Chain A
Amino acid sequence: MDGGTAEGTQVTDVFLHQRYLSRREVLRGLGAAVALPFLDAMVPVARAVARSRSKTRLVCVEMVHGAAGSSAIGIKQHLWAPAADGPDFDLTPTSLASLEPFRDALTIVSNTDCANAEPFTASEIGGDHFRSSAVFLTQAHPRQTEGADVQAGISIDQLFAQRVGAETPIPSMQICIENVDQAGGCGYGYSCVYADSISWSSPTRPLPMIRDPRVVFDRLFQVTRPDLTPRENLQRLAEDRSILDSLGMSIARLRSRLGAADRLRMSEHLDNVREVERRIQRVERYNASGEPRELPAAPLGVPDSFSEHVRIMFDLQILAFASDITRVVSFKLGRDNSNRTYPESGFGGAFHPASHHGGKEDRIRNFAVLNGFHVSTIPYFLGRLRQTLEADGNLLDNTLLMYGSSMGDSNLHNHKRVPFFLSGHGGGVRGGVHIRAANGTPLANVMLAVLHALGADDIHQFGDSGAVFAITS
Protein backbone atom coordinates (compact mmCIF):
# COMPACT_ATOMS: atom_id res chain seq x y z
CA MET A 1 0.00 0.00 0.00
CA ASP A 2 1.23 3.44 -0.84
CA GLY A 3 0.98 5.54 2.26
CA GLY A 4 2.29 8.67 0.60
CA THR A 5 4.90 9.15 3.29
CA ALA A 6 8.22 8.61 1.59
CA GLU A 7 10.85 8.46 4.29
CA GLY A 8 13.16 10.76 2.36
CA THR A 9 10.57 13.49 2.23
CA GLN A 10 10.01 13.30 5.98
CA VAL A 11 13.72 13.58 6.67
CA THR A 12 14.05 16.54 4.32
CA ASP A 13 11.12 18.32 5.94
CA VAL A 14 12.52 17.82 9.41
CA PHE A 15 16.00 18.85 8.36
CA LEU A 16 14.93 21.99 6.59
CA HIS A 17 12.19 23.22 8.83
CA GLN A 18 12.95 21.77 12.26
CA ARG A 19 9.26 21.80 13.11
CA TYR A 20 6.27 19.57 12.65
CA LEU A 21 2.84 20.76 11.71
CA SER A 22 -0.12 20.02 13.92
CA ARG A 23 -2.75 17.74 12.40
CA ARG A 24 -5.11 20.50 13.49
CA GLU A 25 -3.37 23.19 11.43
CA VAL A 26 -5.99 25.31 9.72
CA LEU A 27 -5.81 27.94 7.01
CA ARG A 28 -7.75 30.93 8.25
CA GLY A 29 -9.17 33.87 6.38
CA LEU A 30 -11.96 36.33 6.78
CA GLY A 31 -15.08 34.30 7.51
CA ALA A 32 -13.65 30.90 6.56
CA ALA A 33 -11.27 28.21 7.76
CA VAL A 34 -9.93 25.31 5.69
CA ALA A 35 -8.47 22.29 7.48
CA LEU A 36 -5.49 20.66 5.83
CA PRO A 37 -5.13 17.21 4.33
CA PHE A 38 -2.59 14.83 5.77
CA LEU A 39 0.90 16.20 5.07
CA ASP A 40 4.33 14.66 5.54
CA ALA A 41 5.15 17.58 7.81
CA MET A 42 2.61 16.19 10.24
CA VAL A 43 4.11 12.73 10.36
CA PRO A 44 5.25 12.49 13.97
CA VAL A 45 1.87 13.73 15.15
CA ALA A 46 0.08 11.42 12.77
CA ARG A 47 2.18 8.48 13.95
CA ALA A 48 1.25 9.22 17.52
CA VAL A 49 -2.41 9.41 16.61
CA ALA A 50 -2.16 6.20 14.60
CA ARG A 51 -0.54 4.46 17.54
CA SER A 52 -3.27 5.55 19.92
CA ARG A 53 -6.19 4.82 17.63
CA SER A 54 -6.61 4.17 13.96
CA LYS A 55 -8.61 6.93 12.32
CA THR A 56 -11.44 4.81 11.04
CA ARG A 57 -14.30 6.54 9.27
CA LEU A 58 -17.87 5.30 9.22
CA VAL A 59 -20.38 6.16 6.50
CA CYS A 60 -23.95 4.89 6.89
CA VAL A 61 -26.07 5.12 3.74
CA GLU A 62 -29.77 4.39 3.87
CA MET A 63 -32.01 3.82 0.85
CA VAL A 64 -35.66 3.33 1.69
CA HIS A 65 -38.24 0.81 0.41
CA GLY A 66 -36.06 -2.31 0.48
CA ALA A 67 -35.14 -3.97 -2.78
CA ALA A 68 -36.58 -6.00 -5.62
CA GLY A 69 -34.17 -8.73 -4.59
CA SER A 70 -36.05 -9.19 -1.34
CA SER A 71 -39.22 -10.35 -3.13
CA ALA A 72 -39.85 -14.03 -3.78
CA ILE A 73 -39.08 -13.70 -7.49
CA GLY A 74 -36.17 -11.37 -6.80
CA ILE A 75 -34.58 -13.89 -4.44
CA LYS A 76 -34.83 -16.65 -7.05
CA GLN A 77 -33.36 -14.39 -9.72
CA HIS A 78 -30.61 -13.10 -7.39
CA LEU A 79 -31.55 -9.48 -7.91
CA TRP A 80 -29.82 -8.51 -4.66
CA ALA A 81 -28.01 -11.42 -3.00
CA PRO A 82 -25.68 -13.30 -5.36
CA ALA A 83 -26.26 -17.02 -5.90
CA ALA A 84 -22.95 -18.11 -4.41
CA ASP A 85 -21.80 -17.62 -0.84
CA GLY A 86 -18.13 -16.94 -0.12
CA PRO A 87 -15.60 -15.19 -2.32
CA ASP A 88 -16.76 -16.48 -5.72
CA PHE A 89 -19.97 -14.50 -5.99
CA ASP A 90 -21.24 -13.23 -9.32
CA LEU A 91 -22.66 -9.73 -9.17
CA THR A 92 -23.88 -9.72 -12.78
CA PRO A 93 -27.60 -10.33 -12.19
CA THR A 94 -27.73 -8.30 -8.99
CA SER A 95 -28.43 -4.66 -8.22
CA LEU A 96 -24.85 -4.56 -6.92
CA ALA A 97 -23.25 -5.11 -10.34
CA SER A 98 -21.71 -1.61 -10.39
CA LEU A 99 -19.64 -2.55 -7.33
CA GLU A 100 -17.65 -5.17 -9.30
CA PRO A 101 -14.51 -2.96 -9.51
CA PHE A 102 -14.55 -2.85 -5.71
CA ARG A 103 -15.47 -6.48 -5.01
CA ASP A 104 -12.32 -6.93 -2.93
CA ALA A 105 -13.66 -4.29 -0.54
CA LEU A 106 -17.24 -5.60 -0.62
CA THR A 107 -18.88 -7.59 2.18
CA ILE A 108 -22.43 -8.59 1.27
CA VAL A 109 -24.49 -9.83 4.19
CA SER A 110 -27.82 -11.21 2.99
CA ASN A 111 -30.89 -12.83 4.54
CA THR A 112 -31.09 -10.74 7.70
CA ASP A 113 -34.27 -9.26 9.20
CA CYS A 114 -35.24 -6.02 10.95
CA ALA A 115 -37.92 -7.34 13.29
CA ASN A 116 -38.07 -4.07 15.19
CA ALA A 117 -39.48 -2.38 12.10
CA GLU A 118 -42.48 -4.76 12.13
CA PRO A 119 -45.74 -3.71 13.83
CA PHE A 120 -46.01 -4.66 17.49
CA THR A 121 -49.63 -3.61 18.03
CA ALA A 122 -52.82 -3.30 15.99
CA SER A 123 -52.48 0.47 15.66
CA GLU A 124 -48.97 0.07 14.22
CA ILE A 125 -50.09 -2.19 11.39
CA GLY A 126 -49.73 -0.36 8.09
CA GLY A 127 -47.33 2.25 9.49
CA ASP A 128 -44.22 0.64 7.99
CA HIS A 129 -43.31 3.59 5.75
CA PHE A 130 -43.60 5.97 8.67
CA ARG A 131 -41.29 4.19 11.13
CA SER A 132 -38.79 2.21 8.98
CA SER A 133 -36.11 4.86 8.60
CA ALA A 134 -35.89 5.31 12.35
CA VAL A 135 -35.10 1.60 12.66
CA PHE A 136 -32.28 1.25 10.12
CA LEU A 137 -29.39 2.60 12.20
CA THR A 138 -30.95 2.17 15.64
CA GLN A 139 -32.43 -1.33 15.19
CA ALA A 140 -34.90 -0.18 17.83
CA HIS A 141 -38.68 -0.14 17.68
CA PRO A 142 -39.96 3.44 17.44
CA ARG A 143 -42.67 4.58 19.82
CA GLN A 144 -45.90 5.36 17.95
CA THR A 145 -46.50 9.04 18.61
CA GLU A 146 -47.09 12.23 16.68
CA GLY A 147 -45.97 14.35 19.61
CA ALA A 148 -42.65 15.44 21.00
CA ASP A 149 -42.27 12.24 23.00
CA VAL A 150 -40.56 10.39 20.15
CA GLN A 151 -38.39 7.44 21.07
CA ALA A 152 -36.25 4.93 19.19
CA GLY A 153 -32.64 4.16 20.15
CA ILE A 154 -29.13 5.53 19.77
CA SER A 155 -28.03 4.95 16.19
CA ILE A 156 -24.85 3.10 15.32
CA ASP A 157 -23.23 6.18 13.77
CA GLN A 158 -23.79 8.10 16.99
CA LEU A 159 -22.44 5.30 19.16
CA PHE A 160 -19.26 5.52 17.09
CA ALA A 161 -19.31 9.34 17.11
CA GLN A 162 -19.52 9.30 20.91
CA ARG A 163 -16.14 7.59 20.90
CA VAL A 164 -14.27 9.47 18.16
CA GLY A 165 -16.25 12.67 17.69
CA ALA A 166 -14.27 14.65 20.24
CA GLU A 167 -11.13 14.18 18.14
CA THR A 168 -12.52 16.13 15.18
CA PRO A 169 -14.00 19.62 14.80
CA ILE A 170 -17.37 18.16 13.77
CA PRO A 171 -18.29 14.97 15.70
CA SER A 172 -20.57 13.69 12.94
CA MET A 173 -22.49 14.85 9.89
CA GLN A 174 -26.04 14.00 8.84
CA ILE A 175 -26.92 14.63 5.21
CA CYS A 176 -29.73 13.71 2.86
CA ILE A 177 -31.02 14.01 -0.68
CA GLU A 178 -34.80 14.27 -0.37
CA ASN A 179 -36.89 16.87 1.41
CA VAL A 180 -37.04 15.79 5.04
CA ASP A 181 -38.21 19.03 6.53
CA GLN A 182 -41.70 18.01 7.50
CA ALA A 183 -43.35 18.77 10.79
CA GLY A 184 -46.00 17.10 12.92
CA GLY A 185 -47.51 13.73 12.17
CA CYS A 186 -46.89 12.04 8.87
CA GLY A 187 -49.35 9.18 9.11
CA TYR A 188 -50.58 6.20 11.09
CA GLY A 189 -49.84 8.06 14.32
CA TYR A 190 -46.13 8.56 13.65
CA SER A 191 -44.21 11.80 13.94
CA CYS A 192 -42.49 12.88 10.73
CA VAL A 193 -39.10 12.80 12.43
CA TYR A 194 -39.16 9.01 12.23
CA ALA A 195 -39.17 9.22 8.43
CA ASP A 196 -36.93 12.28 8.28
CA SER A 197 -33.86 11.20 10.23
CA ILE A 198 -31.75 8.08 10.51
CA SER A 199 -29.38 9.41 13.20
CA TRP A 200 -30.34 9.44 16.86
CA SER A 201 -27.91 10.85 19.41
CA SER A 202 -30.07 9.52 22.23
CA PRO A 203 -33.22 7.39 22.21
CA THR A 204 -35.27 10.61 22.27
CA ARG A 205 -33.13 12.89 20.08
CA PRO A 206 -33.23 12.49 16.31
CA LEU A 207 -30.65 14.62 14.50
CA PRO A 208 -31.66 16.87 11.60
CA MET A 209 -30.34 15.94 8.17
CA ILE A 210 -28.85 18.58 5.86
CA ARG A 211 -30.04 18.54 2.26
CA ASP A 212 -28.27 21.60 0.88
CA PRO A 213 -24.64 21.04 -0.19
CA ARG A 214 -24.00 24.75 0.41
CA VAL A 215 -24.90 24.34 4.07
CA VAL A 216 -22.58 21.32 4.37
CA PHE A 217 -19.77 23.21 2.64
CA ASP A 218 -20.16 26.27 4.86
CA ARG A 219 -20.20 24.10 7.95
CA LEU A 220 -17.08 22.16 6.93
CA PHE A 221 -15.14 25.34 6.25
CA GLN A 222 -16.62 27.43 9.03
CA VAL A 223 -17.93 29.91 6.53
CA THR A 224 -19.68 32.70 8.33
CA ARG A 225 -21.73 35.22 6.48
CA PRO A 226 -24.28 37.71 7.64
CA ASP A 227 -27.86 37.05 6.71
CA LEU A 228 -27.99 38.07 3.11
CA THR A 229 -30.99 39.54 1.39
CA PRO A 230 -32.05 37.74 -1.82
CA ARG A 231 -30.52 40.62 -3.78
CA GLU A 232 -27.21 40.32 -1.94
CA ASN A 233 -27.29 36.58 -2.40
CA LEU A 234 -27.66 36.94 -6.17
CA GLN A 235 -24.84 39.46 -6.18
CA ARG A 236 -22.61 37.03 -4.30
CA LEU A 237 -23.39 34.33 -6.84
CA ALA A 238 -22.68 36.65 -9.75
CA GLU A 239 -19.29 37.59 -8.32
CA ASP A 240 -18.29 33.92 -8.12
CA ARG A 241 -16.11 34.51 -5.11
CA SER A 242 -14.33 31.68 -3.37
CA ILE A 243 -13.61 31.14 0.29
CA LEU A 244 -10.03 30.57 -0.81
CA ASP A 245 -9.80 34.22 -1.88
CA SER A 246 -9.63 35.23 1.75
CA LEU A 247 -6.95 32.67 2.60
CA GLY A 248 -4.16 34.02 0.39
CA MET A 249 -1.85 35.21 3.17
CA SER A 250 -2.45 32.13 5.25
CA ILE A 251 -1.70 29.83 2.30
CA ALA A 252 1.47 31.70 1.42
CA ARG A 253 2.75 31.54 5.00
CA LEU A 254 2.19 27.84 5.26
CA ARG A 255 3.55 27.10 1.80
CA SER A 256 6.90 28.57 2.80
CA ARG A 257 7.18 26.01 5.61
CA LEU A 258 6.44 22.96 3.45
CA GLY A 259 8.53 20.67 1.33
CA ALA A 260 7.79 20.19 -2.36
CA ALA A 261 5.59 17.10 -1.89
CA ASP A 262 3.53 18.76 0.80
CA ARG A 263 3.10 21.91 -1.28
CA LEU A 264 1.73 19.81 -4.11
CA ARG A 265 -0.58 17.90 -1.76
CA MET A 266 -1.91 21.07 -0.19
CA SER A 267 -2.41 22.60 -3.62
CA GLU A 268 -4.39 19.54 -4.78
CA HIS A 269 -6.54 19.70 -1.66
CA LEU A 270 -7.31 23.37 -2.14
CA ASP A 271 -8.08 22.69 -5.81
CA ASN A 272 -10.55 20.01 -4.70
CA VAL A 273 -12.16 22.44 -2.25
CA ARG A 274 -12.43 25.04 -5.00
CA GLU A 275 -13.82 22.50 -7.48
CA VAL A 276 -16.61 21.45 -5.13
CA GLU A 277 -17.32 25.09 -4.33
CA ARG A 278 -17.51 25.89 -8.06
CA ARG A 279 -20.00 23.10 -8.64
CA ILE A 280 -22.18 24.31 -5.80
CA GLN A 281 -22.00 27.85 -7.16
CA ARG A 282 -22.92 26.61 -10.65
CA VAL A 283 -25.99 24.85 -9.24
CA GLU A 284 -26.94 27.94 -7.23
CA ARG A 285 -26.59 30.20 -10.26
CA TYR A 286 -28.80 27.94 -12.38
CA ASN A 287 -31.40 27.61 -9.66
CA ALA A 288 -31.47 31.38 -9.17
CA SER A 289 -31.70 32.08 -12.90
CA GLY A 290 -35.44 31.62 -13.20
CA GLU A 291 -35.06 28.58 -15.47
CA PRO A 292 -37.63 25.88 -14.68
CA ARG A 293 -36.55 23.47 -11.94
CA GLU A 294 -37.54 19.88 -11.41
CA LEU A 295 -37.35 20.51 -7.67
CA PRO A 296 -38.77 24.03 -7.39
CA ALA A 297 -39.15 23.88 -3.61
CA ALA A 298 -35.59 22.71 -2.97
CA PRO A 299 -32.93 25.09 -1.59
CA LEU A 300 -30.77 26.94 -4.14
CA GLY A 301 -27.79 24.67 -3.57
CA VAL A 302 -29.66 21.44 -4.36
CA PRO A 303 -29.12 20.15 -7.91
CA ASP A 304 -32.15 18.82 -9.76
CA SER A 305 -30.10 15.79 -10.78
CA PHE A 306 -30.09 13.01 -8.19
CA SER A 307 -26.70 11.78 -9.37
CA GLU A 308 -25.13 15.22 -9.22
CA HIS A 309 -26.57 15.86 -5.78
CA VAL A 310 -25.26 12.53 -4.43
CA ARG A 311 -21.87 13.10 -6.05
CA ILE A 312 -21.42 16.55 -4.50
CA MET A 313 -22.41 15.15 -1.11
CA PHE A 314 -19.82 12.37 -1.50
CA ASP A 315 -17.16 14.88 -2.58
CA LEU A 316 -17.89 16.92 0.53
CA GLN A 317 -17.38 13.77 2.60
CA ILE A 318 -14.03 13.19 0.89
CA LEU A 319 -12.94 16.72 1.78
CA ALA A 320 -14.13 16.22 5.36
CA PHE A 321 -12.33 12.89 5.74
CA ALA A 322 -9.13 14.02 4.01
CA SER A 323 -8.77 16.95 6.38
CA ASP A 324 -10.12 15.03 9.38
CA ILE A 325 -12.97 17.46 10.01
CA THR A 326 -15.24 14.55 10.84
CA ARG A 327 -15.05 10.75 10.73
CA VAL A 328 -18.73 9.89 10.90
CA VAL A 329 -21.41 10.50 8.28
CA SER A 330 -24.96 9.26 7.95
CA PHE A 331 -26.42 9.76 4.50
CA LYS A 332 -30.11 9.34 3.70
CA LEU A 333 -30.57 8.83 -0.03
CA GLY A 334 -34.36 8.72 -0.12
CA ARG A 335 -37.55 9.26 1.81
CA ASP A 336 -40.40 6.83 2.26
CA ASN A 337 -43.41 7.38 0.01
CA SER A 338 -41.39 9.55 -2.37
CA ASN A 339 -42.70 9.71 -5.91
CA ARG A 340 -39.42 10.97 -7.29
CA THR A 341 -38.42 9.69 -10.70
CA TYR A 342 -34.89 8.78 -11.75
CA PRO A 343 -34.69 9.31 -15.52
CA GLU A 344 -30.95 8.64 -15.45
CA SER A 345 -31.67 5.08 -14.35
CA GLY A 346 -33.29 4.08 -17.64
CA PHE A 347 -36.65 3.50 -15.95
CA GLY A 348 -39.04 6.44 -15.86
CA GLY A 349 -41.60 5.26 -13.29
CA ALA A 350 -42.01 6.94 -9.92
CA PHE A 351 -40.19 5.37 -6.98
CA HIS A 352 -43.02 4.63 -4.57
CA PRO A 353 -45.34 2.96 -7.10
CA ALA A 354 -42.38 1.08 -8.57
CA SER A 355 -41.59 -0.37 -5.17
CA HIS A 356 -45.17 -1.65 -4.97
CA HIS A 357 -44.59 -4.06 -7.81
CA GLY A 358 -47.51 -6.35 -7.10
CA GLY A 359 -45.23 -9.38 -7.17
CA LYS A 360 -45.20 -9.22 -10.98
CA GLU A 361 -41.92 -10.13 -12.61
CA ASP A 362 -41.72 -7.27 -15.11
CA ARG A 363 -42.44 -4.70 -12.40
CA ILE A 364 -39.98 -6.33 -10.00
CA ARG A 365 -37.31 -5.99 -12.68
CA ASN A 366 -38.17 -2.32 -13.13
CA PHE A 367 -37.75 -1.78 -9.41
CA ALA A 368 -34.44 -3.64 -9.58
CA VAL A 369 -33.30 -1.09 -12.17
CA LEU A 370 -33.93 1.67 -9.64
CA ASN A 371 -32.14 -0.31 -6.90
CA GLY A 372 -29.16 -0.79 -9.19
CA PHE A 373 -29.16 2.90 -10.07
CA HIS A 374 -29.08 3.92 -6.41
CA VAL A 375 -26.23 1.50 -5.67
CA SER A 376 -24.37 2.78 -8.75
CA THR A 377 -23.77 6.07 -6.95
CA ILE A 378 -21.47 4.29 -4.49
CA PRO A 379 -18.49 3.27 -6.71
CA TYR A 380 -17.69 6.93 -7.42
CA PHE A 381 -17.28 7.49 -3.69
CA LEU A 382 -15.26 4.31 -3.20
CA GLY A 383 -12.97 5.36 -6.04
CA ARG A 384 -12.39 8.78 -4.49
CA LEU A 385 -11.71 7.13 -1.12
CA ARG A 386 -9.14 4.85 -2.72
CA GLN A 387 -7.43 7.76 -4.49
CA THR A 388 -7.07 9.77 -1.32
CA LEU A 389 -3.88 8.87 0.50
CA GLU A 390 -3.15 9.31 4.16
CA ALA A 391 -0.51 8.27 6.66
CA ASP A 392 -1.26 4.56 6.82
CA GLY A 393 -2.78 3.83 3.42
CA ASN A 394 -5.74 5.37 1.68
CA LEU A 395 -9.18 6.42 2.85
CA LEU A 396 -10.82 3.22 1.57
CA ASP A 397 -8.51 1.23 3.85
CA ASN A 398 -9.71 3.28 6.80
CA THR A 399 -13.40 3.69 5.96
CA LEU A 400 -16.32 1.36 6.50
CA LEU A 401 -19.41 2.17 4.49
CA MET A 402 -22.67 0.41 5.20
CA TYR A 403 -25.58 0.57 2.76
CA GLY A 404 -29.03 -0.80 3.25
CA SER A 405 -32.65 -0.50 4.20
CA SER A 406 -34.75 -1.75 7.07
CA MET A 407 -37.47 -2.77 4.64
CA GLY A 408 -37.25 -5.99 2.64
CA ASP A 409 -40.03 -6.64 0.15
CA SER A 410 -41.67 -3.23 -0.20
CA ASN A 411 -44.64 -4.75 -2.00
CA LEU A 412 -45.50 -6.62 1.19
CA HIS A 413 -44.13 -3.88 3.46
CA ASN A 414 -42.16 -6.52 5.33
CA HIS A 415 -38.77 -6.28 6.96
CA LYS A 416 -37.33 -9.66 6.12
CA ARG A 417 -34.25 -10.42 4.00
CA VAL A 418 -33.35 -6.74 3.94
CA PRO A 419 -30.78 -5.43 1.43
CA PHE A 420 -27.43 -4.70 3.04
CA PHE A 421 -23.73 -4.54 2.25
CA LEU A 422 -20.52 -3.18 3.70
CA SER A 423 -17.69 -1.70 1.70
CA GLY A 424 -14.19 -0.63 2.64
CA HIS A 425 -11.66 -2.05 5.05
CA GLY A 426 -12.22 0.24 8.01
CA GLY A 427 -12.15 -1.65 11.30
CA GLY A 428 -10.17 -4.45 9.66
CA VAL A 429 -13.06 -5.75 7.61
CA ARG A 430 -11.43 -7.82 4.89
CA GLY A 431 -14.15 -7.79 2.21
CA GLY A 432 -14.44 -9.84 -0.97
CA VAL A 433 -17.14 -12.09 0.41
CA HIS A 434 -20.87 -12.80 0.36
CA ILE A 435 -22.14 -14.10 3.69
CA ARG A 436 -25.66 -15.54 3.75
CA ALA A 437 -27.09 -15.42 7.27
CA ALA A 438 -29.22 -18.18 8.74
CA ASN A 439 -32.96 -17.56 8.47
CA GLY A 440 -34.22 -15.14 11.10
CA THR A 441 -30.85 -13.56 11.82
CA PRO A 442 -31.31 -9.96 13.02
CA LEU A 443 -29.49 -7.28 11.03
CA ALA A 444 -28.67 -5.95 14.49
CA ASN A 445 -26.20 -8.86 14.86
CA VAL A 446 -24.27 -7.48 11.89
CA MET A 447 -24.42 -3.95 13.26
CA LEU A 448 -23.10 -5.19 16.60
CA ALA A 449 -20.22 -6.80 14.73
CA VAL A 450 -19.56 -3.50 12.96
CA LEU A 451 -19.43 -1.73 16.33
CA HIS A 452 -16.93 -4.29 17.59
CA ALA A 453 -14.83 -3.93 14.44
CA LEU A 454 -14.79 -0.18 15.05
CA GLY A 455 -13.40 -0.75 18.52
CA ALA A 456 -16.61 -0.55 20.53
CA ASP A 457 -16.36 -4.14 21.72
CA ASP A 458 -17.63 -3.22 25.17
CA ILE A 459 -21.11 -2.91 23.64
CA HIS A 460 -22.81 -6.26 24.05
CA GLN A 461 -26.31 -5.49 22.83
CA PHE A 462 -27.59 -3.42 19.94
CA GLY A 463 -31.28 -3.31 19.10
CA ASP A 464 -32.57 -6.88 19.00
CA SER A 465 -29.15 -8.44 18.53
CA GLY A 466 -28.70 -11.92 19.91
CA ALA A 467 -25.12 -12.58 18.88
CA VAL A 468 -22.17 -11.01 17.11
CA PHE A 469 -22.17 -11.79 13.39
CA ALA A 470 -18.85 -12.82 11.87
CA ILE A 471 -18.02 -10.18 9.27
CA THR A 472 -14.25 -9.99 9.54
CA SER A 473 -13.35 -13.62 8.92
Chain B
Amino acid sequence: MILATLVSTILLLADATVTGTWNMGLQGDHVIPTALVLKQDGRDVTGTIALPTQNIGQRVEVKLTGTFADNVLKLTGDVEHAKEPTTIEIQGRFGDDGDLEGTIVVHGRSMPWTAERLKERK
Protein backbone atom coordinates (compact mmCIF):
# COMPACT_ATOMS: atom_id res chain seq x y z
CA MET B 1 0.00 0.00 0.00
CA ILE B 2 2.76 2.41 1.00
CA LEU B 3 4.80 1.34 -2.02
CA ALA B 4 1.83 1.88 -4.31
CA THR B 5 1.27 5.36 -2.91
CA LEU B 6 4.97 6.16 -3.28
CA VAL B 7 5.02 4.95 -6.88
CA SER B 8 1.89 6.88 -7.81
CA THR B 9 3.32 10.04 -6.23
CA ILE B 10 6.58 9.62 -8.17
CA LEU B 11 4.62 9.07 -11.39
CA LEU B 12 2.47 12.12 -10.61
CA LEU B 13 5.54 14.30 -10.18
CA ALA B 14 7.20 12.82 -13.25
CA ASP B 15 4.15 13.69 -15.34
CA ALA B 16 3.55 17.02 -13.66
CA THR B 17 3.30 20.02 -15.87
CA VAL B 18 2.43 23.53 -14.84
CA THR B 19 0.77 24.25 -18.16
CA GLY B 20 -2.74 25.58 -17.62
CA THR B 21 -4.79 28.21 -15.85
CA TRP B 22 -4.35 28.46 -12.09
CA ASN B 23 -6.66 30.13 -9.60
CA MET B 24 -3.98 31.56 -7.36
CA GLY B 25 -4.80 32.87 -3.89
CA LEU B 26 -2.42 35.60 -2.74
CA GLN B 27 -2.48 35.41 1.03
CA GLY B 28 -2.21 38.98 2.22
CA ASP B 29 -4.61 40.50 4.71
CA HIS B 30 -7.12 38.28 2.98
CA VAL B 31 -6.93 35.83 0.11
CA ILE B 32 -6.97 37.60 -3.25
CA PRO B 33 -7.92 35.37 -6.21
CA THR B 34 -5.47 35.97 -9.05
CA ALA B 35 -5.23 34.42 -12.50
CA LEU B 36 -1.93 32.70 -13.27
CA VAL B 37 -1.71 31.29 -16.79
CA LEU B 38 1.34 29.17 -17.62
CA LYS B 39 2.75 27.27 -20.57
CA GLN B 40 5.57 24.79 -20.12
CA ASP B 41 7.95 23.77 -22.90
CA GLY B 42 10.54 21.35 -21.54
CA ARG B 43 11.84 23.11 -18.46
CA ASP B 44 11.07 26.57 -19.81
CA VAL B 45 7.88 28.28 -18.65
CA THR B 46 6.16 31.39 -19.96
CA GLY B 47 2.90 32.94 -18.86
CA THR B 48 1.05 35.81 -17.28
CA ILE B 49 -0.23 36.85 -13.89
CA ALA B 50 -3.14 39.30 -13.51
CA LEU B 51 -2.15 41.23 -10.40
CA PRO B 52 -4.86 43.20 -8.57
CA THR B 53 -4.20 46.90 -8.12
CA GLN B 54 -5.14 49.18 -5.25
CA ASN B 55 -8.24 50.21 -7.17
CA ILE B 56 -10.95 47.64 -6.48
CA GLY B 57 -11.89 45.81 -9.64
CA GLN B 58 -8.76 46.69 -11.60
CA ARG B 59 -5.77 44.51 -12.34
CA VAL B 60 -2.57 44.64 -14.34
CA GLU B 61 -1.27 41.76 -16.45
CA VAL B 62 2.42 40.94 -16.09
CA LYS B 63 4.31 38.69 -18.50
CA LEU B 64 6.35 35.97 -16.83
CA THR B 65 9.29 33.81 -17.86
CA GLY B 66 11.10 31.13 -15.92
CA THR B 67 11.61 27.43 -15.36
CA PHE B 68 10.01 24.37 -13.86
CA ALA B 69 12.50 21.70 -12.88
CA ASP B 70 12.80 19.22 -10.02
CA ASN B 71 9.31 20.21 -8.92
CA VAL B 72 10.42 23.81 -8.40
CA LEU B 73 8.76 26.67 -10.29
CA LYS B 74 10.69 29.93 -10.70
CA LEU B 75 9.21 32.90 -12.56
CA THR B 76 10.04 36.56 -12.94
CA GLY B 77 8.37 39.49 -14.69
CA ASP B 78 8.45 43.27 -14.92
CA VAL B 79 5.39 45.38 -14.29
CA GLU B 80 5.10 47.64 -17.33
CA HIS B 81 4.04 51.28 -16.97
CA ALA B 82 4.63 51.18 -13.21
CA LYS B 83 5.54 54.45 -11.43
CA GLU B 84 8.89 52.93 -10.58
CA PRO B 85 10.58 49.84 -12.01
CA THR B 86 8.93 46.83 -10.41
CA THR B 87 10.05 43.24 -10.78
CA ILE B 88 8.06 40.37 -9.34
CA GLU B 89 9.52 37.02 -8.41
CA ILE B 90 7.49 33.86 -7.96
CA GLN B 91 8.65 30.56 -6.52
CA GLY B 92 6.52 27.49 -6.02
CA ARG B 93 6.25 23.75 -5.99
CA PHE B 94 3.60 21.06 -6.34
CA GLY B 95 1.97 19.84 -3.19
CA ASP B 96 0.81 16.24 -2.72
CA ASP B 97 -2.71 17.22 -3.79
CA GLY B 98 -1.60 18.53 -7.18
CA ASP B 99 -1.98 22.16 -6.11
CA LEU B 100 0.86 24.65 -6.31
CA GLU B 101 2.11 26.68 -3.37
CA GLY B 102 4.91 29.12 -2.82
CA THR B 103 5.81 32.77 -2.35
CA ILE B 104 5.63 35.90 -4.48
CA VAL B 105 7.89 38.90 -3.92
CA VAL B 106 6.71 42.34 -5.05
CA HIS B 107 8.48 45.54 -3.99
CA GLY B 108 10.60 43.45 -1.63
CA ARG B 109 7.52 42.20 0.19
CA SER B 110 7.04 38.44 0.29
CA MET B 111 3.58 36.92 0.30
CA PRO B 112 2.59 33.25 0.41
CA TRP B 113 0.25 31.81 -2.18
CA THR B 114 -1.52 28.63 -3.13
CA ALA B 115 -3.04 27.80 -6.49
CA GLU B 116 -5.42 25.21 -7.80
CA ARG B 117 -5.79 24.33 -11.43
CA LEU B 118 -8.89 25.84 -13.01
CA LYS B 119 -11.07 23.50 -14.95
CA GLU B 120 -11.97 25.92 -17.70
CA ARG B 121 -15.59 25.84 -18.76
CA LYS B 122 -17.36 27.81 -21.42
Contacts and interface: CB of A to CB of B under 8 A. Distances in A.
Nearest to B23: A125
Nearest to A185: B57
Contacts of A187: 56-58
A141 B58 CA distance: 21
Interface string B21-61: 10111000111111101000000000000101000111100
A412 B25 contact: yes
Interface string A99-132: 0000000000000000000011111011011100
B37 A413 contact: no
A413 B120 CA distance: 18
B72 interface: no
A125 B30 CA distance: 16
Which interface class (under 10, 10 to 19, 20 to 34, 35 or more) fits A?
Answer: 20 to 34
Given A358-B29, A412-B25, A126 B34 contact: yes
A235 interface: no
Nearest to A115: B121
Contacts of A421: none
A126 B35 contact: yes
Nearest to B121: A120
B31 A413 contact: yes
A264 to B, nearest CB: 54
Contact of A119 (B31, B32, B33): B33
Contact of A356 (B25, B29, B50, B59): B29
A412 B31 contact: yes
A186 B57 CA distance: 7
A295 to B, nearest CB: 20
Main secondary structure of the interface of B (DSSP, over half): strand
Given A125-B33, A126-B33, A358-B30, A119 B118 contact: yes
Nearest to A192: B57
B97 to A, nearest CB: 16
Contacts of B120: 120-122
A326 B66 CA distance: 61
A122 B21 contact: yes
B50 A125 contact: yes
A122 B56 contact: no
Contacts of B81: none
Contacts of B21: 121-122, 125
B35 A130 contact: no
Nearest to A352: B56
B32 A126 contact: yes
Contacts of A128: 33
Contacts of B23: 119, 125
Contact of B35 (A125, A141, A337, A413): A125
Contacts of A374: none
A20 interface: no
B109 interface: no
Contacts of B122: 120-121
A131 to B, nearest CB: 12
Interface in A365-422: 411-413
A412 B24 CA distance: 11
A181 B84 CA distance: 36
B59 A357 contact: no
B30 A357 contact: yes
A120 B121 CA distance: 5
Contacts of B24: 125
A123 B56 contact: no
A188 interface: yes
A125 B34 contact: yes
Given A120-B120, A125-B35, A126-B34, A188 B57 contact: yes
Contacts of A141: 121
Interface string A410-451: 011100000000000000000000000000000000000000
A120 to B, nearest CB: 4
A473 B50 CA distance: 47
Interface of A: 119-123, 125-126, 128-130, 141, 186-188, 337, 356-358, 411-413
8 contacts: A121-B21, A121-B121, A123-B50, A125-B34, A125-B50, A356-B29, A358-B29, A413-B31
Given A120-B118, A121-B21, 15 more contacts: A119-B33, A120-B121, A125-B24, A125-B33, A125-B34, A125-B50, A126-B32, A126-B34, A128-B33, A141-B121, A188-B57, A337-B56, A357-B30, A411-B31, A413-B33
